[in-house]
């Protein structure tokens, strides 16, 4: 065999041996268990936390009590508002008509009560009759009784004049008997008229009491209709600032749309999200430097005013490549002192806070 052929064979064997050794070494490294990572020294590591800008004492999400179409916007985003100030109006034609009808019902019942009271106020004394004492009754029935009593007086006078004539035979017994029967009939009519006067007086009093109660019910119904009409106007429960008013005229708004209207205090605070391993390290009174999470521009400083005693998931993601989704976070509230008189950062702005020694 030529020396050159032997040299090439030895070179090929060397290459194969090196490849086999590399493969075995790589497989051994891949199958070996990963070495545990070193735990960071939390005592010396800087505390950096992400947070979001929010109004002081948190924001207020506001939605209508009833569904309806928006007919008018009464405020704008960025406007300062007071407690009870109307923000927007929903269509309320039906509710206005209901209030109008309820008010008319009250007026109608009040007019009916005024007529009854006027009638009850027109009373006259009725003369005693038998064992019954004289009392006041309505004017019309009393005059009807007096009319019957006048008729009885005439009938008795006629009967008195006919009595001697009947004994003398100048008047027939039939005429005398008819006059006596007529007097008895008028007496019965007087008794009936007295009973009717008393009954009519009681009925008018009961009717007046019934109308009074109907007026109370009608007023309560009218007040209920006004409350239903007032529910069609959305008012502010707090004094503060309109941060968001994502509503347009003509749009249909429901109670589930409460996140489209956001109110809050004009002053800002930062809600920090504290990883579970920092729990116990962040305390009330710690000072932090607040920076824009995107540009790292310094926005100001703050001091923690409260730390939550619980942990949970976080509702946003950051640009951190090492961020884990299964990490549990606590919350801390940071009062914010802005570094410049420029407009404060917008609501929901992501910030990075670093604790200062």
- Helix axis angle for 173-230 and 93-121, nearest 10°, is 150
Q: What is the mean pLDDT of the chain?
A: 82
Q: What is the DSSP letter of 38?
A: P
Q: How many CB atoms lie within 10 A of CB 83?
A: 10
**pLDDT value for 63:** 92
pLDDT of 294 > 80? The answer is yes
How far is the CA of 36 from the CAs of 33, 151, 275, in angstroms? 9, 125, 21
User: For residue range 91-147, what is the model confidence (pLDDT) as tens digits?
Assistant: 999 999 999 999 999 999 999 988 888 777 666 655 555 445 545 555 566 667 677
Determine the Cα–Cα distance for residues 140 and 122; give it in Å rounded to an integer.
9
User: For residue range 10-68, what is the model confidence (pLDDT) as tens digits?
Assistant: 777 777 777 787 787 777 777 767 666 565 666 667 888 989 999 998 899 999 999 99
User: For residue range 248-288, what is the model confidence (pLDDT) as tens digits?
Assistant: 999 999 999 988 999 999 999 999 988 887 888 889 999 99
């Amino acid at each position: 065999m030529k020396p050159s052929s032997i040299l090439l064979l030895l070179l090929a064997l060397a290459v194969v041996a090196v490849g086999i050794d590399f493969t075995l070494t790589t497989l051994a490294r891949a199958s070996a268990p990963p070495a545990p990572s070193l735990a960071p020294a939390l005592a010396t590591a800087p505390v950096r936390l992400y947070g979001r800008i929010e109004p002081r004492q948190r924001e207020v999400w506001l939605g209508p009590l009833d569904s309806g179409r928006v007919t008018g916007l009464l405020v704008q985003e960025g406007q300062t508002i007071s407690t009870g100030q109307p923000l927007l109006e929903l269509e309320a034609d039906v509710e206005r008509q209901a209030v109008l009808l309820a008010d008319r019902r009250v007026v109608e019942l009040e007019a009916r009560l005024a007529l009854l009271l006027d009638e009850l106020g027109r009373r006259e004394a009725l003369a005693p009759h038998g064992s019954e004492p004289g009392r006041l009754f309505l004017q019309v029935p009393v005059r009807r009784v007096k009319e019957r009593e006048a008729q009885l007086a005439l009938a008795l006078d006629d009967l008195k004049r006919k009595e001697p004539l009947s004994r003398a035979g100048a008047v027939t017994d039939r005429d005398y008997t008819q006059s006596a029967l007529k007097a008895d009939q008028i007496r019965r009519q007087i008794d009936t008229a007295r009973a009717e006067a008393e009954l009519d007086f009681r009925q008018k009093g009961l009717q007046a009491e019934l109308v009074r109660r109907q007026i109370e019910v009608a007023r309560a119904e009218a007040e209920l209709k006004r409350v239903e009409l007032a529910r069609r106007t959305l008012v502010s429960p707090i004094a503060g600032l309109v941060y968001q008013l994502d509503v347009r005229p003509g749009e249909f708004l429901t109670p589930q749309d409460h996140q489209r209207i956001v109110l809050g205090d004009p002053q800002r605070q930062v809600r920090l999200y504290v990883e579970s391993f920092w729990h116990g390290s962040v305390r009330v009174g710690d000072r932090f430097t607040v920076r824009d999470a995107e540009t790292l521009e310094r926005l100001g400083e703050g001091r923690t005013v409260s730390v939550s005693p619980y942990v949970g998931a976080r509702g946003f993601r950051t640009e951190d490549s090492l961020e884990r989704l299964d990490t549990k976070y606590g919350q801390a509230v940071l009062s914010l002192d802005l570094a410049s008189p420029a407009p404060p950062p917008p609501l929901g702005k992501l910030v990075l806070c670093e604790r200062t020694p």
